[in-house]
Amino acid sequence: MGESRRVLIAADKFKGSLTAVQVAERVTAGLRRVVPDLAVEALPVADGGDGTVAAAVAAGFERREVRVAGPLGEPVTAAFALRDGTAVVEMAEASGLHRLPAGVLAPLTASTYGSGELLRAALDAGARTIVFGVGGSATTDGGAGMLAALGARFLGQDGEPVPPGGGGLAAVARADLSGLDPRLSSVSLVLASDVDNPLTGPKGAPAVYGPQKGASPDDVRALDTALGHYVTVLEASVGARAVEYAAAPGAGAAGGIGYGALLLGARFRPGIEIMLDVLGFAPALARASLVITGEGSLDEQTLHGKAPAGVAAAARAAGKEVVAVCGRLALAEPALRSAGIGRAYPLTSVEPDVSRCVAEAGPILERVASRIAEDLLV
């Protein structure tokens, strides 16, 4: 039976343990231990958050590196991916939490300026379509830093630029978007995100995601007020759309960089949906008879736009069998089935010790994959 079957591995990373590429390698090795001549195709996936550029590079995009400002202004080397006029830009590469110095959180001052520099580098490279994956950010600046890097100006009463970060927006007296890079008007910009929060309010960026970035309750209130003020100032400059976009789904993504992207004319699409398009998932799916997806933790969040849910939905629509691998399984069978996943294979199914699952995720995942082959391929 192994000869006629073709397996597509389309899994996300196991956060903190394995990259999406490593997950695919380990699953392939485990399957082939049982069915040596098995046809396997690997298409590592990501939902727009961290790992998105790596997934594009694994799918054949060219990796481009550029020096940009990190969240606190220090230079970092960030990458984007490019193929046939399409660039995949990941804001976390420039402005992610992992770019902060160890132990430092800067909820009020971290800036998305480097993300704007990354977008500019993609324009310089000739991109006509930019898929802008947002998530994992250190920032809550409403995209003001990004816009500034692309030519916007946010000035205080004294006519000088306000300080970087969401906290500095409280001092904005005037917004001038007339200097934005003219090339932006001729590219197709897609905002790829798995969150649909608005910019401010109880479901907004500061309230929901601020605490993960080190914001105290007072910081959250200050950021929410500052972002609300920023919108009011922008309304005076660009009109009613400034207010409409603030309430739009995705505006609150990655500390409000979604809002900045919408101001640039971006279209919002669920991250996994656009990434599957860009990575060439449909033709790979057509060639497969079994799809293996997964991520580190299969839980309630998975069902809300995470990569495995997107893969499973597309595979189910094409009538393909889907199973998932994961480090930790926190979904009951009915929830898995309704997501289109026939069975889930957590690492704990072969190694009950959770700390060993984390420390030795690779070898244990190979054993899990061998079990999948025994159950489904022989």
pLDDT of residue 304: 87
pLDDT of residue 2: 41
Residue 135 φ then ψ, to 5°: 160, 160
Which domains does the chain show, CATH number per domain?
A: 2-43+282-376 (3.40.50.10350), 52-272 (3.90.1510.10)
pLDDT of residue 49: 87
The count of other CB atoms within 10 Å of the CB of residue 354 is 13
pLDDT of residue 1: 42
pLDDT of residue 194: 86
> What pTM was computed for the model?
0.93
Ranges of residues in the chain with a pLDDT under 70 are: 1-3
pLDDT of residue 217: 98
Strands in 188-193's sheet, in edge-to-edge order, are 62-69, 75-83, 86-90, 129-133, 188-193, 267-270
Q: What is the pLDDT of residues 129-174, one digit of tens each?
A: 999 999 999 999 999 999 999 999 999 999 999 999 999 999 999 9
Mean pLDDT score across all residues of the chain: 96
Q: What is the pLDDT of residues 63-116, one digit of tens each?
A: 999 999 999 999 999 999 999 999 999 999 999 999 999 889 999 999 999 999
pLDDT of residue 305: 85
pLDDT of residue 125: 98
